[in-house]
C-alpha cells in the first residue's frame, strides 16, 4: 500500500496544477490517472509537418487571469487566434454559403504557443519523479479514521487528503464509504461535463488556400455536419490546418462517414481544394469513458457548473472536489481548471500538519 499526503485523482490540467502548487510547498503528492496519457480534456496531437492539432481545450482570453498567470509563471507564451475580417455563413441547405464581414473582435481568443499540451507537459516536468501513475482507475474511496483509502483494480493508496478532479458526473462511477451526501450526489449526476458530447475534426494542408480576399477559414453553418470551423494553422505560419466542431449526432456513424460528410461540406465553400488534404484527425469525446457518462435526463451546456455544493466539506474536509466544472469563475474552461486547483490547495492546507 502506498501512502501519501495528498492523492489526486486525474492528471488533467486541474490535477497537474494542484500537484504543481502543492509540491512547491514541499508536500508529498501522488496523481492517479486512468488514461495512458496526460492532459484529460487537453489533447494535442503532434505529427511531423503539421501544426499542433487541438482535439480538446484550445482557446483562452485575457480575462482568464488564473490561466494566464500560470502560463506566465511557466514562461509559456500565447498568440491570437487568426480570424481575418470575413467568414462564411451557411444559413440553410437551400441557399449557398455567404461570405460576410466579421464584426470587430474586442475580446480576441488566444492559443498557447506550441499547443495546449505544452502546458500539460511543462507542469508534469516540474513534478517529482514518480508522482504520476497512469493506467490505473480509482474504483472506491473509503473513510478510515482520519485518513482516506483509495482502491484501484490493482493497488491501494492511503492519504490524508484526496482531491478528485473527475468531472462531477463521473463521481457516480466510484463507490464511496460512507456514501456521499445526497445533495452532492444529486447535483453531480446532473452536472454537464464540458467537452463530453463534442466531436472535433481537423484537416491539414500544404497551403492556406482559404486566406484569400474571397474566402475564409471561419465557417458558421446551420446545415452541418460541422457547425463551426476555424483556421488552425501554426503561429509560425509554416503548417496549415482547419479545425471544427461536428454536430454530436454524428457520433453514431463511422469515422470514414464523418470524414466523407466533412469533405462534402467543405466542397460547398472551397470546391475541390478541400480534397487535397494531407491528414484527417478526429476525436469523438463521447467515446472517451473517462470523460463521458450518459445522463438520465437531458442537460444543457454548463448546467450546474460552479454549484456551491462542490465547495462543501466531505468526509470532514478530507475529500475535496476540483476540476473545471467546480470552479466559481469560468467553469468548463481551462481557466476554471486552474482556479479549482488553487481553491483546492487553499482548502486542504489547514488540514495538513
What is the reported pLDDT for 353? 73
CA distance 317 to 251: 39
- Residue that the C-alpha cell 492539432 belongs to: 53
Contacts of 111 (CB under 8 A, 6+ apart): 54, 58, 59, 60, 78, 79, 80, 81, 235
Measured in residues, the chain has a length of 353
Is residue 159 a contact partner of residue 4, using CB atoms and an 8 Å limit? Answer: yes
CA distance 172 to 159: 21
Instruction: Tell the burial category of 148 from Cβ atoms under 10 Å away from its Cβ (0-12, 13-18, 19+).
Output: buried
What confidence tens digit (pLDDT) does each residue in 279-318 have?
A: 999 999 999 999 999 999 999 999 999 999 999 999 999 9
What confidence tens digit (pLDDT) does each residue in 40-99 have?
A: 999 999 999 999 999 999 999 999 999 999 999 999 999 999 999 999 999 999 989 999
Q: What Cα–Cα distance (Å) separates residue 219 from each residue in 61, 229, 233, 284?
A: 21, 5, 15, 20
CA distance 291 to 284: 11
How many C-beta atoms lie closer than 10 Å to residue 196's C-beta?
A: 20
Contacts of 249 (CB under 8 A, 6+ apart): none
Torsions phi, psi of 326, nearest 5?
A: -90, -10
Model confidence at 342, in pLDDT bands (50, 70, 90)? very high
What is the reported pLDDT for 309? 97
What is the reported pLDDT for 352? 78
pTM, full prediction:
0.96
Model confidence at 102, in pLDDT bands (50, 70, 90)? very high
What confidence tens digit (pLDDT) does each residue in 319-340 have?
A: 999 999 999 999 999 999 999 9
Q: For the chain, which domains are there? A: 1-45+64-77+116-195+288-352 (3.50.50.60), 80-112+197-287 (3.90.660.10)
The three-class DSSP label of residue 124 is helix
Amino acid at each position: 500500500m502506498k501512502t501519501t499526503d495528498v492523492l489526486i485523482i486525474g492528471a488533467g490540467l486541474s490535477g497537474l496544477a494542484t500537484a504543481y502548487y502543492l509540491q512547491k510547498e514541499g508536500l508529498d503528492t501522488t496523481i492517479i490517472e486512468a488514461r495512458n496519457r496526460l492532459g484529460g480534456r487537453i489533447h494535442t496531437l503532434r505529427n511531423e509537418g503539421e501544426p499542433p492539432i487541438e482535439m480538446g481545450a484550445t482557446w483562452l482570453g485575457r480575462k482568464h487571469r488564473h490561466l494566464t498567470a500560470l502560463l506566465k509563471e511557466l514562461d509559456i507564451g500565447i498568440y491570437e487566434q487568426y480570424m481575418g475580417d470575413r467568414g462564411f455563413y451557411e444559413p440553410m441547405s437551400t441557399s449557398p454559403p455567404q461570405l460576410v464581414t466579421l464584426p470587430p473582435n474586442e475580446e480576441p481568443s488566444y492559443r498557447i504557443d506550441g499547443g495546449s499540451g505544452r502546458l500539460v507537459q511543462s507542469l508534469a516536468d516540474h513534478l517529482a519523479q514518480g508522482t504520476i501513475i497512469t493506467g490505473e482507475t480509482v474504483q472506491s474511496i473509503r473513510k478510515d479514521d482520519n485518513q482516506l483509502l483509495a482502491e484501484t483494480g490493482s493497488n491501494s493508496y492511503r492519504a490524508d487528503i484526496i482531491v478528485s478532479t473527475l468531472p462531477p458526473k463521473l463521481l457516480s462511477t466510484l463507490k464511496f464509504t460512507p456514501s456521499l451526501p445526497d445533495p452532492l450526489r444529486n447535483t453531480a449526476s446532473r452536472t454537464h461535463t464540458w467537452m463530453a458530447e463534442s466531436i472535433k475534426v481537423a484537416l491539414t494542408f500544404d497551403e492556406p488556400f482559404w486566406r484569400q480576399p474571397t474566402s475564409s477559414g471561419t465557417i458558421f453553418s446551420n446545415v452541418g455536419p460541422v457547425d463551426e470551423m476555424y483556421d488552425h494553422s501554426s503561429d509560425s505560419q509554416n503548417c496549415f490546418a482547419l479545425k471544427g466542431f461536428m454536430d454530436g449526432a454524428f457520433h453514431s456513424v463511422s469515422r470514414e462517414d464523418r470524414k466523407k460528410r466533412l469533405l462534402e461540406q467543405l466542397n460547398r465553400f472551397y470546391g475541390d481544394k478541400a480534397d487535397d488534404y494531407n491528414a484527417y484527425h478526429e476525436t469523438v469525446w463521447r467515446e472517451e469513458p473517462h470523460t463521458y457518462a450518459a445522463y438520465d435526463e437531458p442537460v444543457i451546456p454548463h448546467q450546474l457548473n460552479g454549484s456551491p455544493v462542490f465547495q462543501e466539506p466531505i468526509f470532514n474536509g478530507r475529500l475535496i472536489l476540483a476540476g473545471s466544472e467546480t470552479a466559481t469563475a469560468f467553469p468548463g474552461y481551462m481557466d476554471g481548471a486552474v482556479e479549482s486547483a488553487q481553491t483546492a490547495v487553499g482548502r486542504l492546507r489547514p488540514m495538513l500538519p
